[in-house]
Amino acid sequence: MAEILALGISHYPPLSGHDDRMATILRRMLQNPDLPAHLRTPEGWPEGMRAEWGEDEGLSAAAKHRAALVGWMERTRAALDAFRPDFVLLWGDDQYENFREDIIPPYCIAAHEKFTFSPRADNVWGETDRVYELPGNRTAAKMLATGLIEQGFDAAYAYKPLHHPLGHAFTNAIFYLDYQRKGFDYPIVPFAVNCYGRKVVSQRGGVPAFDKAESDVEFDPPAPAPWRLFDLGAATARILAESPYRVALLASSGWSHAFLTAKHHYLYPDRTADRRMYEHLRDGDYDVWRQYPAQAVEDSGQQEILNWLCLVGALSALERKPQETGFVDTWIFNSSKAFLIAPPG
Ligand SMILES: [Fe+2]
């Protein structure tokens, strides 16, 4: 009989590196030639940001950030192991990795037979030749694509990778759920969402190039609307709830990103907007999520929260509130990170 476990984590890339590089994105943003003079040194930063940077350029804050994130990864992994899913469906963004100029699907289900990938060089595990080889679940992925298409969601699907074995939203989720390196062999069904929208090709789904003014950038068409992704997640949950599978649904992403938040000169994330969305999620106010405007997502640099819109749509369809949630707040480590565990009743 079908059962669904709902989970949400972050895939923050610097977590796979060492503490002295945890603030690497902030250091990059400090190179912005248009950064106002008063923000170029900690003296001009907001008080909380200065405090987190401290006397050691964020090194002790990095250890605390890591401990908070790893603690949540372990709790999430324990929930996954207790549930023992047939496969894990991951909603994650593709940041100009697998999808590039030749095709940007609004969302795409990876119905691959298997996935092969490795952690980046100079990683915190000291691994130089580690290879993860995980099975997919083509039958389930095709069943899901069929169900979505029949319900009017014209889902793209793929049987093999295009430009990249597997984007970091998916691989980092596995590396972090396996942070203690005890192994991870659940089959996976990656479900890529075009979160970066207007910045997916124009900014290569990454940090601004700072080689021209934002007004001179030729932006791409937008990401799918938040309400549509909410409905997509809801339909996904309903289809899987009627299936023969035990499925873990997992959203993989941080929320507001400093490097996407123009109103903060790309220096720190919109923690206030994230906190507000977190409280609505924790309290089960899912309608607020469905009604969240696309413009608000972009203004707050929350492009990646679109992955979580799928998850929240699923929770709404399942009429389920989270059992545990966590919010890891930061000024200097690029993005707010949220966590969620919602097991079946
Ligand atoms: Fe990402």
For residue 221, report the distance from its CA to the centre of ligand 1, in Å: 19
Could you tell me if 310 and 230 are in contact, meaning their C-beta atoms sit under 8 angstroms apart?
yes
Distance 76 CA to ligand 1 centre (A): 19
Number of domains the chain is built from = 1
Residues within 5 Å of ion ligand 1 by Cβ?
A: 93
d(CA 42, CA 47): 9
Give the model confidence (pLDDT) of 20-67 as tens digits. 999 999 999 999 999 999 999 999 999 999 999 999 999 999 999 999
Residue with tokens 């795409």: 108
CA of 60 to the centre of ligand 1 (A): 24
Please list the residues that pair with 257 across neighbouring strands: 335
Residue 1 has pLDDT above 80, yes or no: no
Contact 23, 58 (CB under 8 A): yes
d(CA 69, CA 335): 12
Q: 101: pLDDT confidence band, cut at 50, 70 and 90?
A: very high
103 pLDDT higher than 80: yes
Q: What is the pLDDT of residues 294-313, one digit of tens each?
A: 999 999 999 999 999 999 99
> Could you tell me the pLDDT band of residue 287, with boundaries at 50, 70 and 90?
very high
Q: Is the pLDDT of residue 290 over 90?
A: yes
* 205 torsion bin: left (phi>0), alpha (psi -120 to 50), beta (else): left
Structure confidence by residue, pLDDT tens digits, 210-265: 888 878 889 999 999 999 999 999 999 999 999 999 999 999 999 999 999 999 99
The string over 166-193, giving b where at least 16 C-beta atoms fall within 10 Å of a residue's C-beta and e elsewhere, is bbbbbbbbbbbbbbeeeebebbbbbbbb
Cα–ligand 1 centroid distance for 252 (angstroms): 8
Half-sphere exposure for 27 (CA within 13 Å, toward CB): 8
Helix ranges restricted to H, 13-155: 24-29, 47-53, 59-83, 138-150
**Of residues 274, 300, 268, the one with CA closest to residue 47:** 268
Asked whether residue 209 carries a pLDDT value surpassing 90, the answer given is no
CA angle 137, 10, 273 (to 5 degrees): 130
pLDDT, position 215 = 82
* Distance in angstroms between the alpha carbons of the first and the last residue of the chain: 14
CA of 206 to the centre of ligand 1 (A): 8
Residue indicated by tokens 């093999």: 160
Percent of the chain at pLDDT exceeding 90? 97
pLDDT at 66: 98
Packing angle of the helix pair 138-150, 226-241 (nearest 10 deg): 120
242 CA distance to ligand 1 centroid (A)? 31
Which pLDDT band holds residue 116 (cuts at 50, 70, 90)?
A: very high
Q: Quote the CA–CA distance of 313 and 303 in Å, as a whole number.
A: 17
How far does residue 93's CA lie from ligand 1's centre (Å)?
A: 6
Which pLDDT value is given to residue 228? 98
Rounded to the nearest angstrom, the distance between the alpha carbon of 232 and the centre of ligand 1 is: 20
- pLDDT bracket for residue 345 (50, 70, 90): confident
**Distance, CA 345 to ligand 1 centroid (Å)?**
31
Structural domain including 45 reads 3-342
Q: 200: CA distance to ligand 1 center in Å?
A: 11
Q: Give the confidence band of 270 by pLDDT, cuts at 50, 70, 90.
A: very high
Q: How confident is the model at residue 133 (pLDDT cuts 50, 70, 90)?
A: very high
* Residue 214: predicted pLDDT: 78
Ligand 1 center from residue 337 Cα (angstroms): 11
Q: What is the mean pLDDT of residues 106-127?
A: 97
96 alpha carbon – ligand 1 mean position (Å): 10
- Distance (Å) from CA 169 to ligand 1 centroid: 5
Tell how far the Cα of 253 is from the centroid of ligand 1, in angstroms.
6
Tell me the CATH number at 318.
Answer: 3.40.830.10
Q: If pLDDT is split at 50, 70 and 90, which confidence band does 317 have?
A: very high
Tokens of 303: 């492009």
* Strand-pair partners of 206: none
Question: How far does residue 304's CA lie from ligand 1's centre (Å)?
Answer: 6
Give the per-residue pLDDT at 9.
98
pLDDT at 232: 99
- CA pair distance 49, 332, nearest whole angstrom: 6
Mean of pLDDT values over 131-152 = 98
